[in-house]
Amino acid sequence: TARAGFSQRFGEFLTGDLFGEVQRARFTDDFGTRDFLTFALVGRGEYDRRNDPLNATSGYYLAGNLRPFYEAKYGNPALRGTIEGRTYLGFSEDDRFVLAGRAKFGGFGGPPVEESPPDMLFFAGGGGSVRGYAYNSIGVETTDSEGETGVVGGRGLVEGSGEFRFRVNEKYGGVAFADVGVVAAGITPDSSDDVRVGVGLGFRYFTGIGPLRVDVATPINPRPEDSIVAVYFGIGQAF
C-alpha cells in the first residue's frame, strides 16, 4: 500500500485528512484466491468534543470516512463510506457514573461482492465492535454446493453499543455493556439479515495513561461456531 496526502486541523475540535492511495492485495476466501489493484481518494473528518479520548465522561465524538476508488483487475468503480457517533453523560460526584453510547453506519456501492476487495466490504465482531463474537466473524453467511457454510463481507453495516460505567474508587471500576450489529447483503439491512447481540461485564484499572480494560462478553444469539464466552483486553475504554 502506498499513500500520499495531508492532514489539517480546523480549530480546536475539527480535523480532516485527504489522501490518495494505491493498494495491491491478494485475498483467499469463499470465492477462492483473488488479486486486486485499487486506486482510491480518501477523505476523513473528525469532530471531537470529548473531555478525555481514553476515558471520556462528557462530550461527544463524530467521524466520517468517504472512499471512492477504482479496482483495476476487474475494471470496477466503487464507493465506500462510514459514519460514527459517540456520546457520554457523567453524573454523580466527580462523574463516578457514566452512560456511554455509540452508533456506526457503513455502506458500499459498486461491483458484485465476488469482484470486490474483501477489506472494502463490511464485517463485525470483536472488542471494538460486537463483543461476544470473534473478530470479523459477523458477515453475510453463504452456503456452497456441498452444503458448507462461510462468511463473506457485506455491503451494509449497522452497529450500536451502550455502556454503564462506574468507579468503585480512584483505582478500580467496572462496566456493564450491550453491543448489537448487523452486516447486510445490501446497503441497508432487511429482514433476511441476522442481527447479532452480545452482552457482558468489564473491569477497569485506572492509570495515569488511561484505564486498563478487561471485558468478558457472551453472545445472546450464538451460532454453532461461536464460543460461549469471549475475553478482551485493552488500554482505554472500549469507545
What's the confidence (pLDDT) of residue 32? 86
Extract the C-alpha cell encoding 79.
464507493
pLDDT value, residue 62? 99
Predicted local distance difference test score (pLDDT) of residue 150: 84
Beta bridge partners of 170: none
Q: Cβ contacts of residue 191 below 8 Å, gap of 6+?
A: none
* pTM assigned to the model: 0.92
Mean pLDDT, the chain cut into blocks of 10 residues (239 residues total): 95 97 93 94 98 97 98 97 99 94 98 94 97 96 77 96 97 98 95 94 96 98 95 97
Domains located in the chain, CATH noted: 2-235 (2.40.160.50)
The angle formed by the CA atoms of residues 68, 161 and 154, to the nearest 5 degrees, is 35
In 3D, which of 163, 176, 159, 155 has the Cα closest to residue 103?
159
